[in-house]
Every structure is written in C-alpha cells, then in structure tokens.
Amino acid sequence: MFRAPERLKDEYDVVIIGGGGHGLAAAYYLAKNHGITDVAVLEKAYLGGGGTGRNTAIIRSNYLTSEGVRFYNRSVELFRDLSRELDFNLFYSERGHFTLAHSTSSLNTMRWRAEVNKHLGVDSKIVGREFIQQSIPEMDLDCGGHQAPVYGALFHPPGAIARHDAVAWGYARGADRSGAEIHQQTTVTDIEVREGEVAGVHTDKGFIKTKKVLSAVAGWTTYVTKMVGLRTPLVIHPLQAFVTEPLKPWLNHIVVSASLHLYVSQSSRGELVAGASLDPQELISMRSSLDFAESLCGHLADMFPMVGSTNILRQWAGLCDMTPDFSPIMGKTSIKGFYIDAGWGTWGFKATPVSGETMAATVATDQQHELIVPFALDRFRRFQLVGEKGAASVGH
Amino acid sequence: MKIINCPINGPRPAQEFHYGGQFREMPDPDAVSDDQWADYIFNRNGEPGIKREWWYHLPSGTWFVAERDNCSDRFLRTYLYKQESSP
C-alpha cells in the first residue's frame, strides 16, 4: 500500500515524529497544500498503533468554546469528503450523537453548548426523554434505578464514527504517493538544538539533518519535550475502552453519558465499542484493569439491560496527554523549527484532518495557522486558556 | 488487589485512596516574575520517572506524600508531609 524506504537520507526539509493519524495527515497536507515533499515520517513502532488505533472513533463538533467549535467543525468538513479524496474507504458513518444529561446543571451546560453550536452553524439541539426513547427504544432512561434518570440530551445529528486505522492508512498512502517517506521501526533518540534552533534529529538508525521538526506523538510528547527542554502542562493518563462480541445491528446512534462515565456506539462489524473516563492517576502505561471493565459493564447494563449477557471481546488502553483546559497544544514553540502537535487527551482522533491541515500550514509558512492561534503553547504564560468543557471525560 | 501503604493505617486497598496531583513547592508569589508564576501554576513534569505525589486516604482523611514510578504504577515509599525520615 505504501513504500518502505530502505534507509534514511542524510537530510530532509521536514521531519515528522510519529506515524499516527496526525503526523501522516500533516505529511499529506504538506505535499498537497504546500508542495513540500522532502519529508520523513518517523514511527518507532507501526502506523496508527498509538492514540489513532486506541480511541473509540467518534467524530463530532458540538463543543463549548467558539475556538473549539470552529476547529472541530473544519475537521468534520474534511472528514465528510475524505474517503473520496484519499480514494480509500474510511467507513465514515453519520449516526447522530446523544450526550445525556442526568441532572439539571448538566442540562444547563448543554443548553449553553447548543446555543454556541447553533450560532456557529453546527447542527445541535436539546431534546427531551420522548425523543431519546423513540430514537433508541432499547435504552432504559431510568438506568434501572441505580443511577440518576436521563432528563434530556444534547443531540448532534452529524456525529459520526469511522474506521480509525483506515484514516492512518489512507493518509499514509496519500503522503507516500506524493513523495514523503514513511519510516516505521525508527525511534527518535534525541533532537539537536543549536542556539535555539533545530539542527537535526538523532535516531536509532543514524543522524538526520533538518531545520524543521514536527512532534506529533500525543501520549509520548513528554519524552520528546524532554529532549528539547521544553516545559508544558502535559501529564499522561490512560483511558481504557473495550469492544463486545458482534451483535446484530440495533444501536444506530452514538450515546455518551458523562455522569455514567460511558460512551458507546456499534461498529460496522456489530461490536459495541465502549469507553469510560480517564484513570485517576498519572500513568504512562497501556495496561488494562479489571476495575475499569467491571464498572463500565455495570453502567452499560444499567443503561442497556439487554446487553447483560454479552461477552467482552477485547480491552485496551490508550495514553492521553491531558492539558488543564482540555484544549490541544498546537503550533510554534520558543525553539525555532520545533513545532508541537500535542495535548490530544481524549479528543485527538476527531481532529486528525484539521490538525494535519493546520500543522502543515504552520510548518510550511512558520506562521501559526489562524484556526490554531488560540491553541499555542504560550497561552498558559499569558493566562489565556481555552476552557473546553465540551470535551469527552469532562464532568459537567 | 492493589495495595497502598498509608503512613497512618498501614497497607490498605487502592480503592480507599485518592490521587491528589504532583507534589510541588510553591514559590513566593511576591518574589517571582509573572512567567515564573505561570510556570508554577500550569506547567508540570509529565516525563516518565519516579514522582513525588500527594495521595489521600479517604476513610481516615489522611493526606500524605508518595514516591511512585509513573510508568509501572509501583509505590516506592509513602510518608507524612515533612516527615520523610520517619519509617
């Protein structure tokens, strides 16, 4: 599907660390939008093996801040046409996305979100219990009496799911065809910075000279920022998810309940894909835990009693690089030629196309792309945070 | 079951504990620059390694300091604040 170059060249115009969706998309848009093709994507393991392949594949733009809504909505626009553009089936499937409210205060936050969304042209509204029950007859809106009942929901019809591996592979093929080199099994061991400017990258396969490095490693960002001595607010927490055995199609929508720490959708293969909230303590490990599976099963069965006897097929964890304001950290840094695409916490997959597009523009022009100006790393120094309460895993 | 050693109550199940964030010394707000203050407020050491952290034992209301490896989740040592040398 794409070439596997035998050896690294001595020099590239741009080196991208991380062969996940974001890094590969950046390589693709560097070629497509800016004509920059002398690019190496370095991946220490295999393509899409990090956050790209470990999320629950949900795509939506019903965020709370105007900065977030504009950004994620551009991503939805790109996603909708992406299978055609990449000539690769991403199984992009619009399902409609319910965020359930189990309290009046959470319903109030949703009203606020709906108004921001509508103002910015995003299809989003508050719906009542009858609407939810009609859409999803299998749901017990009273949660078996074990949890607070569902009062209403924020409904976002364009909410979609996609095959996440295919997004990485599609961008990889596109980048490869336009001339970028993808090097898997290649680990970056250090970054050479001379007088505040990037000079090159040390790898386990030798030194590469370059003036521009894009770090697109999400959950591994603290390893890379350590190499260049950059301080960030990032801390890493695992987020766990599981899939059940395949069932006949019955759940068309995507259902999220922040109070129950639950989000669930049914994949095109029939599996229920379900995730929870972050593990509470900082941990750079992709281990799974029984605690997680137990509590998620309980909540899933409270909401959908019919899945009580369904088996879990697979359980895994991904690393989330969390920021204090639940917005990403993107663009230029205090080191010339070092660009950062991080802080992807629990919202990275849906941003894959737009982060690729905006980071490619930022790297190509050395100017922060307009959509990501609010997400620059120095916002913390300026106390200008972008408090994104619409992010997954944020309690309302 | 994962066990954490509470400095007051001894070994207890992990479910009885709550993570309280990284242990950090607050600089004197009047003596530091705005940049240094912002660095203290927002920036963290998210690198892999052994970290000093605040932990809380819920049933007894005990705040204490733990030294924990943030890659293996192993607790190396726990002690009460400013009583590092006590057993």
Q: Is the pLDDT of residue A349 over 60?
A: yes
Specify the length of chain B in residues: 87
Q: Is the pLDDT of residue A47 over 90?
A: yes
Q: Report whether A332 contacts A214 (CB < 8 A).
A: no
Computed over every residue of chain A, the mean pLDDT equals 95
Of residues A353 and A1, the one with the higher pLDDT is: A353
Pairing mode, if any, of strands B50-57 and B17-22? Answer: antiparallel
Contact A236 B46 (CB under 8 A): yes
pLDDT in tens, A91-123: 999 999 999 999 999 999 999 999 999 999 999
Distances (CA, A) of A346 to A52, A106, A160, A163, A197: 11, 20, 16, 17, 31
For residue B14, the chain A residue with the least C-alpha distance is: A291
pLDDT at B2: 87
A209 inside 8 A of chain B by CB: no
Q: Is the pLDDT of residue A242 over 50?
A: yes
| pTM summary value | 0.95
pLDDT at B87: 55
Q: Which two tokens stand for residue A176?
A: 């490869």
Q: Which of A231, A281, A282 sits opposite B43 (nearest CB)?
A: A231
Instruction: Compute the radius of gyration of chain A from its Cα atoms.
Output: 21
DSSP one-letter code for A270: S
Q: Which amino acid is at A164?
A: H
Distances (CA, A) of A395 to A220, A262, A320, A348, A354: 25, 12, 17, 18, 26
pLDDT in tens, A271-296: 999 998 899 999 999 999 998 999 99
**Span A324-337, mean pLDDT?**
97
**Span A30-46, mean pLDDT?**
98
For residue B46, the chain A residue with the least C-alpha distance is: A235
pLDDT at A393: 59
DSSP assignment string, A199-244: EEEEETTEEEE-SEEEE--GGGHHHHHHHHT--B--EEEEEEEEEE
Residue A253 confidence class, pLDDT cut points 50, 70, 90: very high
Residue from A215, A237, A240, A282 whose CB has the most chain B CBs within 10 Å, to mutate: A282
Q: Which of residues 35-64 of B touch A (CB under 8 A)?
A: 35, 38-39, 41-44, 46-48, 51, 53
B73 inside 8 A of chain A by CB: yes
Q: Which of residues 216-245 of A touch B (CB under 8 A)?
A: 221-223, 225-226, 231-236
Q: Report whether A383 contacts B34 (CB < 8 A).
A: no
Would you call A395 exposed, middle or buried from its count of C-beta atoms within 10 A (0-12, 13-18, 19+)?
A: exposed
For residue B15, the chain A residue with the least C-alpha distance is: A291
**Span A119-137, mean pLDDT?**
97
Distances (CA, A) of A125 to A96, A134, A347: 11, 16, 21
Pairing mode, if any, of strands A212-215 and A338-342? Answer: parallel
The whole-angstrom separation of Cα A102 and Cα A42 is: 45
Residue B85 distance to chain A (closest CA, Å): 25
pLDDT at A1: 85
Residue B82 distance to chain A (closest CA, Å): 23
Distances (CA, A) of A41 to A173, A181, A204, A341, A363: 12, 6, 14, 14, 14
Q: Report whether A279 contacts A286 (CB < 8 A).
A: no
Nearest to A78 by CA among A158, A177, A155, A15: A158
Q: Which of B38, B46, B73 sits opposite A235 (nearest CB)?
A: B46
Contact B44 A233 (CB under 8 A): yes
- For residue B2, the tally of other CB atoms under 10 A from its CB is 11
Contacts of B19 in chain A (CB under 8 A): 280-282
Contacts of B41 in chain A (CB under 8 A): 380
The whole-angstrom separation of Cα A182 and Cα A48 is: 12
Pairs of CB atoms within 8 A across A/B: 58
Q: Is the pLDDT of residue A396 over 50?
A: no
Q: Is the pLDDT of residue A31 over 50?
A: yes
Three-state DSSP class for A333?
coil
Three-state DSSP class for A35?
coil
For residue A281, the chain B residue with the least C-alpha distance is: B19
pLDDT at A391: 75
For residue A236, the chain B residue with the least C-alpha distance is: B46
Contact B42 A285 (CB under 8 A): no
Spell out, as residue ranges, where chain B has pLDDT lower than 70: 86-87
Residue B31 distance to chain A (closest CA, Å): 17
Q: Report whether A236 contacts A222 (CB < 8 A).
A: yes
pLDDT at A358: 98
Contacts of B22 in chain A (CB under 8 A): 235, 282
Of residues A43 and A388, the one with the higher pLDDT is: A43
pLDDT at A2: 86
Contacts of B70 in chain A (CB under 8 A): 236, 282-284
The whole-angstrom separation of Cα A236 and Cα A218 is: 9
CA-CA-CA-CA torsion for A391, A113, A384, A284, nearest 10 degrees?
0
Angle (deg, nearest 10), helices A104-119 and A66-80: 70
Instruction: Compute the radius of gyration of chain B from its Cα atoms.
Output: 15
pLDDT in tens, A193-230: 999 999 999 999 999 999 999 999 999 999 999 999 99
